[in-house]
A and B are shown apart, each in its own frame.
Chain A
Amino acid sequence: MKYSVQIVGVGGQGVLLASMVLGTAAMRAGYKVRMSEVHGMAQRGGSVLSTLRFGDDVVSPLEATGGADLIMGFEPMETVRSMKLGSRDTAVLMNLDPVYPGNVAAGFDTYPGIDVLLNEIKSRNDHVVTVEATEIALKAGKAVAANAVMIGAVAAMKGFPLGRDLLKEVLLETVPPKSTDLNSKAFDMGYEAVSKHD
């Protein structure tokens, strides 16, 4: 068994934390784990990508283009930008709440419509699951819990090999103790949102 996840988003969205939670859970489930992370300059608000591969025999820290079993898109435009990481068989979990790049925020460039972005992926892939992670996180208490929503959501994805309880356990160990309630709630709401989807 081999499974690979490409997590894409924007610096500051908690992509590294999410990949750490998934990776730790995979290790605890008894798999070998190989990951690759982006550090340094890209973290200053740029596009970030974190690769996670686990299974009985993984060696490479990077995945082949198109080889992802799952793309976890923390940001809609970044998900579209990174489509080629997956194939038509790849499961795609896509957060629909955008983070505007500086040039867009300042009014010098325009952000494509969310429906346009969604259509870009849906026209290529039948396994797209969407979630409004930031909005759900706000309902759970705070926007920063959006990554907990995403981790909850991924736990509910069809065919995802790591269990709900394991993922939640690792998540709650990873976040600061004072935000346990918030993250726990956000995780559950993310899970529910995707379960309903099917």
Chain B
Amino acid sequence: MADLLSESGKQLLLGNEAITRGLFEAGVRFASTYPGTPSSEVGNLLEEYSERAGMYFEFSSNEKTAVEVAAAAASSGVRSFAFMKHVGLNVAADPLMTLAYSGVRAGMVIMSADDPSAHSSQNEQDNRYYSTLALIPMVEPSDPQEAKDFLREAYAISEKLGLPLLYRTTTRVNHARADVVLGSIMTDTPLKGHFEKDDRHFVNIPAFAVHNRVRLLERMKQAAELSEASPLNRIEGEGDIGVITSGVSYCYVKECVSGVSILKLGFTNPLPEKKIADFIRGRKAVVVVEELEPFLEDQVLRICAQNGISVHVYGKRDGTLPREWEFSPDTMQRLKDIVTVYPAPVPMKGTELTLPGRPPSLCAGCPHRGIYAATKRAVGKTPVVYCSDIGCYTLGVQPPFGTADFIICMGGGAGAAGGFAQATDQKAIAFIGDSTFFHAGVQPLTSALFNRHNIVMVILDNRTTAMTGHQPNPGTGRHFGGIDTDSVDIESVVKGIGVGFVRTVDPYDVLSCVKVMREAIEYDGVAVVISKCPCPLLLKKERTLAKKVCYVDQDKCVRCYTCLRTIACPALIKKDERVEVDPSQCIGCGMCANVCPKKSIEVRQ
């Protein structure tokens, strides 16, 4: 296994492991995040390593707060790192925009882990545009080795400019694994700083902000000079045709395309315009290879226009390369009429059988199954809109539950519920996880109270941030890095802001949940139901899951299949006509026993 504090050597590291190591090599002393795939492992690793590495690390309640705490550290002279998935940066965009005006005193890097092909996301937005929007420098590594090495350079750039820097990765960098050569760990950066007051820069009232904008534009001119001279922007190979590329796309070009000259860009905002113009001049053609939006390509076209260079630029604007989904070696075949591409293999023909699908699903004994089953039963024929949110419970969209009709973003279901309640005659029921509640659920709940929206909010409190790999959240308290805090009690929070109907239920007792859900649905006003039960996968990891298993008494079973239809637990198996239990999966939670009308399922120790 990886040892991220070892002095030197070569290790087989996941991109996110390499990034974590890179923080130690760059002397980062302060890090913060809200977990999100594909960036999550960095948080789990720092939870384990930060104290030994001499770094303060926290899971903030959301990305906005993560950027704010890291901004304060960097403004006080402490190197800081805030990291998140691409959509997380939307949440943190507010502090980011003005932080560029304020500037920072020690290096500050913000990592945005983008997800082309939306492997674990709700969209595939291209966050490179945040660098041009906020006017901050950007660095893009291509593989795990660079993901580690470029961090050191990124901190140097950030400090030279006094600006936060956007470190943009993608899934195939974060979740790629490669042999990585370790460098030395930096030990001479300060762990504590001191905030020297300077209101002209750190207080952006209009009178100061207008001047800070001028200063920011000056700094970006300086950044352009750095970019021109940066070793992160380099030229490889020779040929009449020039390929301009960045990020993981470089790897596909490098391996599949031959006979071209490649301008590999690692410092991608501001672009080295002179270097690009010189690279393009005299070429037969130029190909820009980048995933998602034509971010580089549009600037290349502008640079051509401004320099009077007339050359055809192949890319997304002329339809050569796609704008949707991540690239792969296959994508390079689209360039085969322009450049020499490694011949495509001939794949075996796909099957003509219709194979049963295998979508991800809620675990055996997952408490979300119980509260979803109860809600469905309580709702009956009442017209409802199920507003859901981001987490494992999103999987409620699948049959037999169908308890997700509207999902847009973190906390978005809770907000939208108020809108549905006002704009329709359907009952709005919002599901939200415990971590998501602290991230972005308290505000819409307050707003619903304020505006007297008729909604039910069901808080699925499974005592962890499950989907991203079981990180702690305010509801669990923190117990790492030498800091112990009490958990923030969700029921007290909800009661404290004045919700009139608050009930905490055990989702494994499905029938009792049905009763409570009925009351909540009938309640006039804002009703909150807290479904509290720890994630069994977490208990398994922590080795605290009580070993129980259920049995079906085949003599009592009338084969009504209520258990299969309502709980649909993967541990329940239908063999011929019989319902059986797979003991290797069953955790003995008792949900199926609870809904069995003949009481023919029994849980044993």
Binding site for B on A (CB under 8 A): 10-11, 20, 23-24, 27, 32-47, 58-67, 77-78, 80-81, 83-88, 90, 100-107, 109-112, 116-117, 120-121, 124-125, 143, 174
Known: A36-B172, A81-B355, A83-B351. A61 touches B574 (CB 8 A): no
Quick one: CB contact mask for B311-337 with A, threshold 8 Å, 1 for yes? 000000000000000001110000000
Known: A40-B120, A60-B252, A107-B574. A125 touches B363 (CB 8 A): no
CA distance A186 to B480 in the complex (A): 38
CA distance A111 to B361 in the complex (A): 18
Known: A47-B358, A65-B347, A107-B564. A40 touches B119 (CB 8 A): yes
- Which among B38, B351, B357, B467 has the highest number of chain A CB atoms within 10 Å? B351
Closest Cβ neighbor of A111 among chain B residues: B356
B255 with A60: CB separation less than 8 A:
yes
On chain B, the number of residues with a Cβ less than 8 Å from chain A's Cβ atoms is 58
B contact residues around A110 at 8 Å (CB): 356
A contact residues around B176 at 8 Å (CB): 34-37, 61
Q: Which of B120, B175, B348, B570 contacts A84 (CB 8 A)?
A: B348
B contact residues around A47 at 8 Å (CB): 358
Nearest 10 A-B pairs (CB), nearest first? A66-B347, A107-B574, A40-B120, A46-B360, A66-B345, A35-B177, A61-B176, A40-B37, A64-B329, A44-B360
A64 with B330: CB separation less than 8 A:
yes
Q: Which of A44, A61, A63, A88 contacts B395 (CB 8 A)?
A: A44
CA distance A142 to B437 in the complex (A): 41
CA distance A120 to B352 in the complex (A): 9
Known: A33-B179, A44-B362. A39 touches B351 (CB 8 A): no
CA distance A109 to B359 in the complex (A): 13
User: Is B573's beta carbon under 8 Å from chain A?
Assistant: yes
CA distance A88 to B573 in the complex (A): 37
Known: A33-B178, A61-B143, A87-B345. A103 touches B14 (CB 8 A): no
User: Is B568's beta carbon under 8 Å from chain A?
Assistant: yes
A102 with B353: CB separation less than 8 A:
no
Closest Cβ neighbor of B364 among chain A residues: A45
A interface, over-half SS? mixed
A contact residues around B405 at 8 Å (CB): none
B248 with A112: CB separation less than 8 A:
no
Closest Cβ neighbor of A103 among chain B residues: B356
B361 with A44: CB separation less than 8 A:
yes
CA distance A38 to B326 in the complex (A): 14
B12 with A23: CB separation less than 8 A:
yes
User: Is B582's beta carbon under 8 Å from chain A?
Assistant: yes
Q: Which of A39, A63, A105, A112 contacts B572 (CB 8 A)?
A: A105
Contacts A10-B358, A33-B12 aside, 18 further interface pairs with beta carbons under 8 A come to A23-B12, A27-B10, A34-B176, A34-B178, A34-B251, A42-B360, A44-B362, A44-B392, A44-B395, A45-B363, A61-B172, A64-B345, A67-B345, A83-B348, A84-B348, A112-B353, A120-B351, A121-B348
User: Is B197's beta carbon under 8 Å from chain A?
Assistant: no
Closest Cβ neighbor of A78 among chain B residues: B358
A46 with B358: CB separation less than 8 A:
yes
CA distance A104 to B350 in the complex (A): 22
User: Is B468's beta carbon under 8 Å from chain A?
Assistant: yes
* Those of B139-188 within 8 Å (CB) of chain A: 143, 172, 175-179
A62 with B329: CB separation less than 8 A:
yes
B contact residues around A83 at 8 Å (CB): 347-351
B contact residues around A36 at 8 Å (CB): 172, 175-177
B358 with A101: CB separation less than 8 A:
yes
A77 with B355: CB separation less than 8 A:
yes
A-B contact pairs, 15 of them (CB 8 A): A23-B177, A34-B176, A38-B175, A40-B468, A44-B361, A46-B361, A61-B143, A64-B256, A81-B351, A87-B345, A102-B568, A103-B356, A107-B561, A107-B574, A124-B349
- Which among A63, A83, A103 has the highest number of chain B CB atoms within 10 Å? A103
**Chain A: minimal CB distance from B268 (Å):** 19
User: Is B483's beta carbon under 8 Å from chain A?
Assistant: no
Closest Cβ neighbor of B326 among chain A residues: A62
A106 with B572: CB separation less than 8 A:
yes
User: Is B344's beta carbon under 8 Å from chain A?
Assistant: yes
B contact residues around A46 at 8 Å (CB): 358-361
Closest Cβ neighbor of B567 among chain A residues: A106
B contact residues around A37 at 8 Å (CB): 14, 175-177
B355 with A45: CB separation less than 8 A:
no
Closest Cβ neighbor of B248 among chain A residues: A61
B361 with A106: CB separation less than 8 A:
no
Quick one: CB contact mask for B79-123 with A, threshold 8 Å, 1 for yes? 000000000000000000000000000000000000000011000
- Which among A37, A110, A112, A116 has the highest number of chain B CB atoms within 10 Å? A37
B contact residues around A105 at 8 Å (CB): 570, 572-574, 582
B256 with A60: CB separation less than 8 A:
yes
B348 with A104: CB separation less than 8 A:
no
User: Is B584's beta carbon under 8 Å from chain A?
Assistant: yes
B contact residues around A45 at 8 Å (CB): 358, 360-361, 363, 570
A contact residues around B574 at 8 Å (CB): 105-107
B contact residues around A11 at 8 Å (CB): 360
CA distance A67 to B328 in the complex (A): 12
Known: A23-B12, A80-B355, A83-B351. A35 touches B178 (CB 8 A): yes
CA distance A101 to B360 in the complex (A): 9
CA distance A49 to B37 in the complex (A): 17
**Chain B: minimal CB distance from A119 (Å):** 10
CA distance A80 to B356 in the complex (A): 12
**Chain A: minimal CB distance from B500 (Å):** 36
Known: A60-B252, A106-B564. A80 touches B12 (CB 8 A): no
Known: A84-B347, A111-B356, A124-B348. A58 touches B255 (CB 8 A): yes
